[in-house]
Amino acid sequence: MVKCHFLLTATLVSLMLSSVIAHGDKKEGVTYDGRSLIINGKRELLFSGSIHYPRSTPEMWPELIQKAKRGGLNVIQTYVFWNIHEPEQGKFNFEGSYDLVKFIKTIGENGMFATIRLGPFIQAEWNHGGLPYWLREIPDIIFRSDNAPFKIQMEKFVTMIINKMKEEKLFASQGGPIVLAQIENEYNTVQLAYRNLGVSYVQWAGNMALGLKTGVPWVMCKQKDAPGPVINTCNGRHCGDTFTGPNSPDKPHLWTENWTAQVFGDPPSQRSVEDTAFSVARWFSKNGSLVNYYMNCCLFRNNPDTMMKLLLMNMVCRGNQNGSHLKDLHRALNLCKKALLWGTPNVQRLSADVEARFYEQPGTNDCAAFLANNNTKEPETVTFRGEKYYLPAKSISILPDCKTVVYNTMTVVSQHNSRNFVKSRKTDGKLQWEMFSEAIPSNLPVDSRIPRELYNLTKDKTDYTWFTTTINVDRNDLSARKDINPVLRVASLGHAMVAFVNGEFIGSAHGSQIEKSFVLQRSVKLKPGINFVTLLGSLVGLPDSGAYMEHRYAGPRGVSILGLNTGTLDLSSNGWGHQVALSGETAKVFTKEGGAKVTWSKVNKDGPPVTWYKTLFDAPEGKSPVSVRMTGMKKGMVWINGRSIGRYWMTFISPLGEPTQSEYHIPRSYLKPTDNLMVILEEEEASPEKIEILTVNRDTICSYVNEYDHPPNVRSWERKNNKFTPVADDEKPAARLKCPNQKKIVAVQFASFGDPSGTCGNFAVGTCDSPMSKKVAEQHCLGKNSCVIPMDKGLFTGNKDNCPNLSKNLAVQVKCSDKNPKRSANQA
């Protein structure tokens, strides 16, 4: 159980935790105490979301930030990515999607706070954890340790970023939006590997950061021994239950990562909004004052260009599907704000599984309560202060006045929606493909006795390197039986490989996020005399986490031929030639100018391995997001008008036997109205004929309510003149629906009053259903931008209730569009 601290006033100690800079007669800055951050002299409840600037485009930043704000957030959190800003030592890049200053200013322009996480090791499911490759080539360096070569470079970068923020007056102490900064990242997970050098490194890193005098607090996430005034914070799914608390009573409870992610390669899943809401309500009921959703939005799920390699993590955004329920949660918590920030915490056990956590300010009417049912299977009705309250299983009800339930984490009153992929009318069946195949090298000049290490060869400038060797086979080495062939075995440290013998493709193999190493083993046809073995080794980025990252390696380590009459032939020390990068990469055939340098041919069947494909397409209709579905392809990269949208990997199959990801985002800012050039590099045998250009919408919206258990929407109340009052005349449950972008409801796709089951996009009628359900929904909603369907039994059953002993639910699913509504026969 998290230890609750009684309210502490802003003492001299807390004032010393942040420098304060005077602007005229006004003092601004960020301090803290054991209850919360104090921003410009005011306590705040902070609801934050992670949006990483290089994972989207500058054109998208305002909309992403505004959506976050509409979802009830008041903070945007981002990492700072060293390897994009300093890809070569001493050469810096802050242009385009890397314009950190512009991103922070955009946050401020939208009236939100910002948190920057400098690391500079950040993990972030990002190539090399944000560390630039060139660090690996500095003599005697040990990353993230009390190691002079590393500390020199780390301090240079962190200082440069902080000075850049100061020059633009972006810290809150200067009137800017930045209220928190982070140094290092989850170091406790590797600290023991460095022993005493880890302990001293943590102290050095924290004190180095404090010495930069930003005027805002510094944090270290998952770092119990964060030094001095540096705040240790929690990362995880359920920090309200797992966080042991700050390492000093004068530090606030901050949750820097509330995880919503899905690992690439796992079965498709998304953390339920009910579970997320439960964890957040639990956190704020236990003295929490900041939560950050990680991620709030991540649009590039692979990598935005070949120099930014997001590793095998499919980031699930906290998008519109969950946003409404969490928006309501933020509103409910804000209704409790004064009691939470100034009240005294108390705990009362109401039953074996139910507890009440409440905050009261003595001498006032300020009181807020959280009633938590910790039973994961059974609902319960309890009495609190003389009133009875129904609590669904594993849920928390929020009472901003210690009397009135305005929100329950398990009860989704707000509408939700389903994502739809729609074929673009401008490209459906019209893509004309051409292809250009790479020449397979067979006998590169030998430059090493053994295959060279892949990271060192590519230096993070390409994913690809060719390896070649030759063997002289005597006729007597080969089996006389035609049904028995030798076998090529390649043991690789990762990440993927395509193999050829005598120019003929023999197969491919790859590792996983669990085990990077793999063994490729394929039957081969050898001929008497000289035979050529060619391997194309490929990477999906450098390691993004763990201890001693500078000592991680990739690429083929052992190569042998099995099944020869003379026994196994070890080729590992046979003498190897290497060619870094593909010829098409060097020629930049993914651009219009580079593509003109090679000869393209029409596609009429599956193309051979290591082939480039290109086509032209018009920008899809409307303004909805655009994606490409890579059906028929296997593994490679995609460019749009010369700009990479990253890797695709259709052959990375989930345990369910399906591709982990099939659709890949194309930023609209990359597109012209017509003749957009799409170029694909495919590593294996494949055909692009089934590739589709899609638009993505959330025009399927739903509501699911219960006649008894649902509290009215939290928007039915407000706090005005320090009084908690209802603002709606009718507080009865109802299904509320509203189309996005001024569209209208054109069809009721599902409606059932009874015991329907399922989720938006997948509802099903239960054993009890009113035949009037769809007609009632159409009467209230068709042709409107928004509608309210009362949870009125008389509307749906009239004088006859076929299941009177059943508590009724109402599930409604409608379609939004700019077109005219479709009416069912009974409505017409």
Q: How far is residue 280 CA from its own chain's centroid?
A: 18
Tokens of 250: 């004068």
Whether 54 and 304 have beta carbons less than 8 Å apart is answered as yes
- Indicate the DSSP class of residue 129: G
Active site residue 186: yes
- Indicate the DSSP class of residue 256: E
- Indicate the DSSP class of residue 189: G
Set 44, 86, 186, 682: catalytic member: 186
439 phi, psi to nearest 5 deg: -70, 135
* CB burial of residue 165 (10 Å; 0-12, 13-18, 19+): buried
* Residues facing 702 on adjacent strands: 416, 813
Is the bond preceding 295 in cis, omega lying within 30 degrees of 0? yes
Active site residue 438: no
SS3 of residue 628 by DSSP: strand
Q: Rounded to the nearest 5 degrees, what angle is found at the Cα of 148, between the Cα atoms of 143 and 150? A: 30
Tokens of 428: 């459906």
Q: What's the rounded Cα separation, in Å, for the pair 473 and 442?
A: 16
Whether 305 and 643 have beta carbons less than 8 Å apart is answered as yes
501 phi, psi to nearest 5 deg: -130, 125
- Neighbour tally for 83: CB within 10 Å: 23
Q: What's the rounded Cα separation, in Å, for the pair 207 and 222?
A: 17
Set 257, 274, 684, 692: catalytic member: 257
- Indicate the DSSP class of residue 167: H
| Alpha-carbon Rg for the chain in angstroms | 30
Amino acid found at 168: E
DSSP string, 279-330: HHHHHHHTTEEEEEEEEEE---SS-SBTTB---SEEPPP--HHHHHHHHHHH
Tokens of 82: 């060293």
What ranges make up the beta strands (E) of 52-129? 75-79, 113-119
Sign of the CA dihedral 694, 699, 700, 705?
positive
SS3 of residue 273 by DSSP: helix
Instruction: Sort strands 288-297 and 46-51 into parallel, antiparallel or unpaired.
Output: parallel
Whether 649 and 721 have beta carbons less than 8 Å apart is answered as no
Q: Exposed e or buried b for every residue in 225-240, given b needs 16+ CB within 10 A?
A: bbbebbbbbbbbebbb
Q: What's the rounded Cα separation, in Å, for the pair 635 and 613?
A: 13
Helix (H), strand (E) counts: the chain: 15, 48
Whether 626 and 716 have beta carbons less than 8 Å apart is answered as no
580 phi, psi to nearest 5 deg: -85, 130
Is the bond preceding 416 in cis, omega lying within 30 degrees of 0? no
Name the residues annotated as catalytic.
186, 257
